[in-house]
Chain A
Amino acid sequence: MHLDGVILEWVFVVVKILAIFVITFAIVPYTVMAERWVCAWIQDRIGPNRVGWFGLMQPWADALKLFLKEDIIPHHVRKAYYVLAPTLVFLPALLTMALMPWGSNLGPMSCVLADIGPGMLVVFAVGACSVYGIVLAGWASNSKYPFLGGVRSAAQLISYEVCIGLSLVAIFMQTQTLNLTQTVLYQAANGWLVWQQPLAAFLFLICLFAETNRAPFDFPEAEQELVSGYNIEYSSLKFGLFFLGEYANMMVASMLLVTLFLGGWSLPFAPFNAPAQVWWVGAAHVAIFVAKTACLLFLFIWVRWTVPRFRYDQLMGLGWKVLFPLALLNILITAVVLGLKGGA
């Protein structure tokens, strides 16, 4: 009996690992697809509609094309780091996805692969690694534009990493936990944090744009200035991995925002505001989480095709002179409010 429980647990783990892989390798190409569609609609075009039904097979055609291209390693690169870099960009996204609670539970299976205590810290620690991938790619390519992209990425990501951490401190003060599942449960019980911490949510959103290298902060790969930034010297599947990593990062960022501020899998009314007792509520929770994430992905794409890129000094100014003090202010306000509440 006890052994059965252990085996079942392992089966669940394998299922969840497979689910995360499927999400990354099947859904992410469709995020690229969505990007191309939304971009086209905004520019009064139709967008890809030829391959398969309504163009839905387009991402696979693109993937096949990337797969069949010659994998060129220029002679001037530092080879070991050059090969390592795409993996370093892609892996953190995959790892952080393991920490996301994408539902309450489906029957006896909880819908999170790794429900660890300091979950948010792990997300930060792993997520911060993706900057190494870009910097390494820029440095190992041993040519000018990738190097500039890498340097920009280092400066940008490190300054916004500070901001992103500080904007979340207020959240942790309020929820008293670093665990992502607990954060969602707190929101299910007490209402979404975006209403209680609008400033933190706003700062976090802006920082996410910078962290995921999305427009208006897409400096490491600014096409007009750096041709394509850190990934110029890459081709074939290595380039594909950068591409996949970028969109996977965007997806993780959306999931993170949903989990921390938009109530995760919960909706603010019964029966969706508590962990599922019956299977259909569990399934609905997953659907709710997916829908919220999709909305945020649309927001990311929408912003990219609307807002022009900042100037580099404006980016740094915004990060250090505006967002950083605002994040500190938010912590102060939260502390005062919590202190008064606790004292009363």
Chain B
Amino acid sequence: MKVRRPKLTPLDRLYLPQILAGMWLTLKHIPRKKFTRQYPEEKFKLLGKYRGAPTLVRNQAGQVKCVSCQLCEFVCPPKAIRVIPGRRDDSAPAEAVIEKEPEDFIIDMTRCIYCGQCEEVCPEQAIFLKKDFAVTGYKRSELEFHKQKLLELGGVHDDPICKWKKK
């Protein structure tokens, strides 16, 4: 390709008008509105499909929805999830018809890749990726989220089906 070399006028070759024009441009930018977002105070607006930290949810009755089927554990690509199955407490009220509940549910957040396959695979809709993206801790052990912590993060999820009630 032939590069076009425009013929410069003596004024162009002086280079000074260009410098002055450039300086005028940068000067105009000084009082402009700034693009910087001051992060910890101003949070980012996340889109609907954003995948943040995975969490466990309860249903309207306050029951843990997870039945410890371990599908998420098997599907998890980086093997971040570990489910320890347990029995539901027999002394629970009669309307608590869900038979199983995990004894512990561990997600190693240093391994999680936020792929969302656990949410995808869950037959009980018990695990959801929320919008928290700043998962931090001072120790590795702090980044190992257990059942208690995951339920706190997840909160209650309004389940329109409530299939266990119909059993």
Name A residues whose Cβ lies closer than 8 Å to a Cβ of B.
Answer: 38, 40-46, 302-303, 305-307
Contact = CB atoms under 8 A, between A and B. Distances in A.
Nearest to B21: A306
Given A38-B30, A302-B27, A44 B22 contact: no
A206 to B, nearest CB: 10
B19 A41 contact: no
A33 B23 CA distance: 20
A306 B23 contact: yes
Interface stretch (B34-42, B55-63, B97-105, B143-151): B34-42
Contact of B23 (A41, A43, A46, A302): A302
Given A302-B23, A306-B23, A46 B30 contact: no
Given A42-B26, A45-B34, 12 more contacts: A40-B36, A42-B30, A43-B29, A44-B32, A44-B34, A46-B36, A302-B23, A303-B23, A306-B25, A306-B26, A307-B19, A307-B23
Contacts of B26: 42, 302, 305-306
Nearest to B36: A46
Interface in B1-47: 19, 22-23, 25-27, 29-36, 38
Given A38-B30, A302-B27, A45 B36 contact: yes
A108 to B, nearest CB: 43
Contact of B29 (A42, A303, A307): A42
A40 B26 CA distance: 11
27 contacts: A38-B30, A40-B36, A41-B30, A41-B31, A41-B34, A42-B30, A43-B29, A44-B29, A44-B32, A44-B33, A44-B35, A44-B36, A45-B35, A45-B36, A46-B34, A46-B36, A46-B38, A302-B23, A302-B26, A305-B26, A306-B19, A306-B22, A306-B23, A306-B25, A306-B26, A307-B22, A307-B23
Contacts of B29: 41-44
Contacts of A41: 29-31, 34
Nearest to A38: B30
Contacts of B34: 41, 44-46
Contacts of A303: 23
Nearest to A314: B15
A209 to B, nearest CB: 11
A81 B35 CA distance: 46
A307 to B, nearest CB: 6
A229 to B, nearest CB: 24
B38 to A, nearest CB: 7
Nearest to B24: A306
